[in-house]
Structure 1
Amino acid sequence: MHQEYFLPFQKYKIAVMCTQPQEILGVVVLCHGFGEHYRRYLPEVIPQLENAGLAVVAYDNIGHGQSGGKRGHCPNYEALLDILALVIERAQSLYPAKPLFLYGHSMGGNLVLNYVLRRKHHVKGVIATSPYLRLAFKPPKWKMILGKAMLSIYPSITLPSGLDPEGISRIPEEVERYKNDPMVHDKVSPMFSFPVMDAGEWAIANSNLLTVNTLLLHGTGDQIIDHRGTVAFHENASTTTLKLLEGGYHELHKDLCSKEMLGHINNWLALQL
């Protein structure tokens, strides 16, 4: 089964895809990274989750992919958690008796970790790959000052994110594919960037409140999101398993270590299920 449709959220349409294996042991909601979309997970990640017995419900966040909204902008951080809650609700209605997992990459990792820390839920486990908890680079000072000023006067203005595509993978073909993807964008508004940054630091400070079994994966060569933020989150928590991939770039599932990374996910899911 492979279905694609839209869910209404406020005045927007949120693009959702559902796919399932023959024997369903659980369901996972997949949350992509900033500037990209769920279809980028179809080649490697989604088949791996299906092989582990999980139905997958993936979605394009507001302002991304096939979903509505200005590219790179959102109403506020709570709206991002509300959209995730909406997709979780859909997953639970499709597979009511099955254990529920969340899978988030980068910004998606920020959202799934904050979701289980801040909201009431029935999540059995979380997988966060290269979670956006702390940037690995310092944005130019002028950009931070301008962005913070705009947050109060023009929160929806979008500027280039400054993300260097060369940092996503050590495989040149993957970088080219990313650069040439018409649905990938590098726009970001102050309302999208600053609250996500703040939520990352909040999650690190409050990870001791985590009660859900969580697998954290991060490459030590990530030049976009600092793997030390993920280490700090892990050290403050009691229910996390941390796998650091030596030299791994930001998109581990599209990097030289993708087999190793997907293997860690498979082993961890086997224990949970």
Structure 2
Amino acid sequence: MTDYQKKWFYLILLSFIWGSSFILIKKALLGFTALQLGGVRIVFASLALFIFGFKSLSKIKFTDWKWLVIAGLTSSFFPPFLFALAQTELDSGITSIFNSVVPLMTTLVAIALFGALITKRQVLGVFIGLFGTITLILAGMEFTPDQNYWYAIFIFLSALGYAFNINIIKRHLAHLSPLTVTTASFGVAFLPALFLVAYSGFFTDIQEHAEMHNALWYLLALAILGTAWANILFNKLIHKSSPVFAASVTYTIPLVAVLWGVWDGENINVYQLLGGVIILLGVWLVNKKKNVIH
């Protein structure tokens, strides 16, 4: 399989895995708090990664750890908590559409902090993407007023974290294997996540609440498949492609997530879909010119 074929294979596989993660978060929240879900997700994912990737940590140089700490915090530590918190107030399908701003964030971070060039078409794409986001928020506030769309802020913060992570890996950690980068990133997140799990009362609650036992299976799938394995695949995708192409996995994630949401009884109105399409149009324009990020 050529590198070109591999990057598309990883993109499609990640679209399905991460597109399914939103419904898994929703189901896990039936038994866990957002703090418990985020913390346990990180702990389980870290333990799975340590089994396979612990030996690879010996390849890391001291100078790499600065970037690994930043990448670990921005992509492995904060997003699991922020996504769980967002989905306490927002449907899984809507959350996935908001997540489509990741490529826009990736481009803006690359321009602002990594010296990437930008074209007029990309500027237009960024503004169109932002307009689509506003449309999505306003449509949701009007047609589904029972949801708190201020919680979309947590998705945007996660997207910003992913944008930092993608650019850092491509610029400063490309010499390390995807397994090494992923394991180290979760190694950074492991101890603070374990502390928060203990603080959340998880170890006491799980003995007393039966609903947590059923939700635990969704959380395990989310941690091992949707977090540990998916992050390895994503880092492979970053190595095989450009940062913005890697971020483009968010093109197809909403398609999978919205289908899961509709299957689970969520309502998506035409104006929300229109907002999502506008966001994707903006992302497409941002990505249309090849080799923008050097």
Instruction: Identify which of structures 1 and 2 has the higher relative contact order when contacts are C-alpha pairs closer than 8 Å and 6+ apart.
Output: 2
Same fold flag (TM > 0.5): no
Of structures 1 and 2, the larger Rg is shown by 2
For Structure 1 versus Structure 2, the TM-score category normalised by the shorter chain is: under 0.3
Using the size of structure 2 for normalisation, the TM-score is 0.26
The structure with the largest helix share of the pair is 2
Using the size of structure 1 for normalisation, the TM-score is 0.28
The structure with the largest strand share of the pair is 1
